[in-house]
Structure 1
Amino acid sequence: MLGFSWVLLAFAATSVNAGRIVWDGSFNNYTTPADFDRWSWANQVGSYQWYIKGSGPTSRYLNVDAAYKNPAITSEQRGLKVTIDSTATWNSQMMRTELIPQTTANLGQGNLFYHFSVKRTNTNPPDPTLEHQVMFFESHFTELKYGVGSNPSNLGWYAGGQQRWSTPFSPDVWFNFAYDINFSSRTVGLWASTGGNPLTKVVENVAATTFTDSRDFHVGVLRIVNRNPPEDWYVSGVYVEEGPITTAIGSGAVPPPPPPVPTTVPPSSTVAPPPPPVSTSTPSGPLQTKFGQCGGTGYSGPTNCETGLSCVAVAPPFYYQCQ
C-alpha cells in the first residue's frame, strides 16, 4: 500500500492566470446567510443551489465572513463556514450541509480543475471516529474523506473508491486542492498545497468513472452518523477552471505553516528514517511509485523507488517522496 502524508513542496513553474474560469464559486456575492435563501426551485438564482440543509434557519448551517476565507486569496471578500449538527438531516440519519453549483456552463467536459480550500479549527472540530465525505460528486468518483482510511485523523483524498493520498488535518491551516479531472480520458488526479503556497501535483491521474451533470458537485460536508456535538468546516477559493491549471493561491502572501508534528505516536518514532541509500543493485521488496511517499516521521511503507526515481527529502523529517 502506498504511504500518505503532506507535501510542502512549492511547484517551480507557478502560473498566475493559466486557464479560463468556467464557473466562479466564490462567496463575494453572499453578504449574509439570507442571500443563500434567494435560491429556490421556483427562483433558481445565484451561484449556488441551496436545498441540502436541516430544519433550522440558514444561519444555523451557513455563515459568510472575511474571517472565514484563506487570507492568501486577496480577490475573495468572504469565505464560508459550514456547520452540521443533529438537525442537519437529509432523507436519512446522515448529517449534511451542502451547496450545489447553479450554472448553465458544462462542468463535465474536457480537462477541468475543481479548485477549493478547506480548514478546521479547534472550535467544533470534526469527529475523527466518524466518516465524513467532503467536496464530493454524487457518484463519489473523487472526494475528500475524514474519519476513515489508514489514519482516520488525516484528511484523505479518494479516487475510484480508494484512498490515494492523505495529510494530517491540522487545525487553523488552509489546505488548498484542485481535482484534476479529465472527463475525456476518464481520469482524475490531485493538486495540493497549504496556506499561500502554490499548488503542486501530489497524485498523478488515475482511472475513474468521471461524470457530472454540472449540478452535483457538493460544496460542503456529509457525515455518516447523525449525532451531536455540531461541527464547523471552512471553505474558500471555490472555482472550476479549464486547463492549463492556475497553481497560484491568490497573492501567495501568507507564509506557509510549519509542518505538523505528530502527537499520537511515541517519542521514539518521531525521528524520521534517513532516505534509502543509493545502490546500483536492484532493490528487493515493494517499490514506491512516482510521487509516492518513501520516508518520513512515522512512515512504515516502501522506502525504495521504482527504476529511474530517487527518494527526495521534500519536507524533512516529515516527508520524503519518489521523484
Structure 2
Amino acid sequence: MFAQASLIALLSGSAFAGTTIWSGSFNPFPNVSVFDEWSWADEVGTYQWYIHGTEPTSHYLALSPSYKNPADTAEVNGLMATIDSTAEWNSDMERTELIPQTTQNLGVGNLFYHFSLSTDPTGLNAPDSTLEHQILFFESHFTEIKYGVAPNPTDLQWMVSSQFQWGTPLVPGTWYNFAYDIDFTAQTVGLWFSTGGSPLTKVENNVAAPTSTNSEDFHVGVLRIVNTPAPENWYISGVYIENGPITTAIGSGNSTGSSSSASSSSSATSVTSTTPTTTISTPSSTPTATVPEYAQCGGTGYTGPTACASPFTCTAISPPYYYQVSRKLTRNLLNIEFES
C-alpha cells in the first residue's frame, strides 16, 4: 500500500513539470575558456559569446559554486558576470552577455524562461543604483529586469515594453528566482518569482506584449547604459527554458505545480500592474513597423522589421549575422548602415 501511494505521489508531482527545451546550465563549462570555443565560424556549445569588452573572457566571466543559488542542487557552478569600463560594446554601453546557441524554437506556444540573480553578499562590486541596468532581456525588450531606474532605482523591477509592472528591493546576497511566463501565441507575458529556495509563485498576471524571438536574442547577462570605471558583479544561475506547465521548484527539477500555498519572500513588494499602451506589431502582420533602440533590425535569418525608430539607425554589430538599432556614432568602427 505504501509503495502504491508513493508511486501515485511521484506520478502526480511529475505531472506538473514542464519539458525543458533549452538548458542554459553552466555544468558543461569546467572553466570560462570553454566559452571561447564558440565563434561565428564554429557555432558550438550552449551559448554564443561575443557581447563583451576587449579583455580576456576571464575578465568578464567566472564560474564557482559561490556564484549559484545554493538551493539549486542541479547546478555545480553559477556564473559571475562582470561589467566595467573595459566592457564597452556598441558605443558607451557596458555589456557582458551570453545568448542561447540552439536550433530549438524558443518562441512558440507558452514557454517559461527561468533564471536566478544575486550579488555579492559582502556588497563587493555592488550595482550602482544611479545608472540604468538591463538584465536578462530580449532584443526587443518586451520583457526584462531593470535596476537603477524609476520608479524605484534600488529595486529589481520587471518591465514590459519599458513599462513598470512589479519590483522588489535588491539586497546583497539574496537569491531572486524569476520565470518569464511568455505566451507567444496570445502575445502576453507574466512573471513568476521567489527568493532563496522557495517555490516560484505567480506575482503578476500576463499582460499584452509584442512577444517575439528568433530563438537567439535572449540576453543572459547585464547591460549598463552609461560607461563608468566602477566594476559590478552579477551572479546568475538556474537558466533554462521549458514549455508548460511551469516547474516551480528551485533546482530539484521536480515541480510543485502552481499551488497557491507556495509563498515568496516577504521582502517582495507587488505593485498594481499597468498594461502597456504601446505595442509593436509582429513582422508578419505589419512589415513596416519601426524597431526600438537596442532591438535587432537585421542579420542572417532575421525576418523582422528593419525600419528604425527616429533618430536611430540599423547598425552592423557582427555582420552579416547581427544588426541592432543604435545611435550612429562615427567612432564606432562597426557602424555600417544595414540596407534592407
TM-score (norm 1): 0.74
Size of the alignment, in residue pairs?
Answer: 251
1:170-189, aligned counterparts within 5 Å?
170-189=171-190
Question: Residue type of the partner of 1:209?
Answer: P
The match for 1:206 is 207
Question: Are 1:110 and 2:109 counterparts?
Answer: yes
The question of whether the paired residues in 2 share the 8 Å contact of 1:88 and 1:96 is answered with yes
The question of whether the paired residues in 1 share the 8 Å contact of 2:201 and 2:264 is answered with no
The question of whether the paired residues in 2 share the 8 Å contact of 1:15 and 1:246 is answered with no
The match for 1:82 is 81
SS at match of 1:108: coil
The question of whether the paired residues in 1 share the 8 Å contact of 2:92 and 2:225 is answered with yes
SS at match of 1:22: strand
SS at match of 1:26: coil
Cα distance in 1 between the residues matched to 2:240 and 2:177: 12
C-alpha deviation, 1:251, in angstroms? 4.2
SS at match of 2:58: helix
C-alpha deviation, 1:150, in angstroms? 1.3
1:216-227, aligned counterparts within 5 Å?
216-227=217-228
Question: Are 1:145 and 2:149 counterparts?
Answer: no
The match for 2:328 is none
The change in CA–CA distance for 1:19 and 1:260 in structure 2 (over 3 A counts) is closer
Structure 2 spans left out of the alignment, 5+ residues: 1-11, 254-262, 273-340
The question of whether the paired residues in 2 share the 8 Å contact of 1:160 and 1:207 is answered with no
The match for 2:19 is 20
The match for 1:270 is none
The question of whether the paired residues in 1 share the 8 Å contact of 2:194 and 2:264 is answered with no
The question of whether the paired residues in 1 share the 8 Å contact of 2:25 and 2:237 is answered with yes
Question: Are 1:91 and 2:125 counterparts?
Answer: no
Cα distance in 1 between the residues matched to 2:198 and 2:173: 15
The match for 2:338 is none
Question: Are 1:52 and 2:51 counterparts?
Answer: yes
Question: Residue type of the partner of 2:140?
Answer: S
Cα distance in 2 between the residues matched to 1:38 and 1:63: 16
The match for 1:30 is 29
Question: Residue type of the partner of 2:65?
Answer: A
Cα distance in 2 between the residues matched to 1:261 and 1:143: 17
Cα distance in 2 between the residues matched to 1:74 and 1:152: 32
Cα distance in 1 between the residues matched to 2:116 and 2:13: 18
SS at match of 1:29: coil
RMSD between aligned residues: 2.2
C-alpha deviation, 1:27, in angstroms? 0.1
Structure 1 runs (4+) deviating above 4 angstroms are 13-17, 256-262
CA offsets 1:222-260 (integer angstroms, 9 cap, x no match) = 0000111100000000000000000011249xxx99755
Structure 1 spans left out of the alignment, 5+ residues: 1-12, 263-290, 294-323
Cα distance in 1 between the residues matched to 2:159 and 2:219: 15
The question of whether the paired residues in 2 share the 8 Å contact of 1:16 and 1:246 is answered with no
Cα distance in 2 between the residues matched to 1:148 and 1:108: 28
SS at match of 1:87: helix
1:117-128, aligned counterparts within 5 Å?
117-121=116-120, 122-128=123-129
The question of whether the paired residues in 1 share the 8 Å contact of 2:199 and 2:264 is answered with no
C-alpha deviation, 1:160, in angstroms? 2.3
Cα distance in 2 between the residues matched to 1:165 and 1:133: 15
Cα distance in 1 between the residues matched to 2:85 and 2:201: 37
The question of whether the paired residues in 1 share the 8 Å contact of 2:168 and 2:268 is answered with no
C-alpha deviation, 1:161, in angstroms? 1.9
The change in CA–CA distance for 1:95 and 1:178 in structure 2 (over 3 A counts) is same
SS at match of 1:248: coil
The question of whether the paired residues in 2 share the 8 Å contact of 1:46 and 1:102 is answered with yes
CA offsets 1:255-292 (integer angstroms, 9 cap, x no match) = x9975599xxxxxxxxxxxxxxxxxxxxxxxxxxxx75
